[in-house]
Amino acid sequence: MCDKYSQALNLECLNPDGVSLSRNKNGFIIMTLNGDDKGRVKLTRAFPNDMPYSFIGVTDIEDREIGIIRQLSQLDSNSLAVAKEELDKRYFLPEISQINSIKEKMGSFYFETTIGNKKKNFAVKDISRSIRFTPDNSVLVSDVDGNRYAIPDFDKIKRKTKRLLEPYLY
């Protein structure tokens, strides 16, 4: 895919042999590309749910596109570890084990949930856009602060949670 569309989209497919990722003294990711220091960079998943370590976009600190890393597994071990750590932190997706209640108040929906063994409350503004049922039978929920939560298998959750969520699944 990367090579097929790279000219049309004006994207550069980065050769993994020339990519080096590390952290600077402040913990930010920096990149060297074919010996050229690119400074601080940001990594973005093109397909966060389906291919979390493939087709990773690399931009500079001002969001200018540097290129695409087709497969993180092709990077050297240090760069791979840095990239995976950063992406896993950036795309952290806690799993909801139970929804205890959903209450609507003044256009917002307030969720009382259990994540692991801990209670977690959050608000959802536009519920029709903030809850997504995915083809792999999971449910993704986004709160007003941009945090995301997952129910990995809708069929395996408790009946009460299903009843609370079903009216909002489209």
- How many domains does the chain fold into? 2
Amino acid 51: pLDDT: 86
Least confident of 8-17, 74-83, 88-97, 112-121: 8-17
Q: What is the mean pLDDT of residues 116-120?
A: 94
User: 64, 90, 116 — which closes off a domain?
Assistant: 90
- Determine what percent of the chain is predicted with pLDDT higher than 90: 76
Q: Is there a single domain that holds both residue 27 and residue 85?
A: yes
Q: Is the same domain home to 63 and 136?
A: no
What gap in Å lies between CA 77 and CA 9, rounded to an integer? 29
Examine the fold and report which residue of 71, 90, 109 is the final residue of a domain before the chain moves on: 90
Contacts 24+ apart (CB under 8 A), 130-134: 131/165, 131/168, 131/169, 133/169, 133/170, 134/49
Do 8 and 32 lie in one domain? The reply is yes
Domain of 57 in residue numbering reads as 2-90
For the stretch 35-88, pLDDT in tens is 999 999 999 998 877 788 999 999 999 999 999 999 999 999 999 999 999 999
Which segment of 2-16, 114-128, 155-169 scores lowest on mean pLDDT? 2-16
Identify whether the C-beta of residue 86 lies closer than 8 Å to the C-beta of residue 74: no
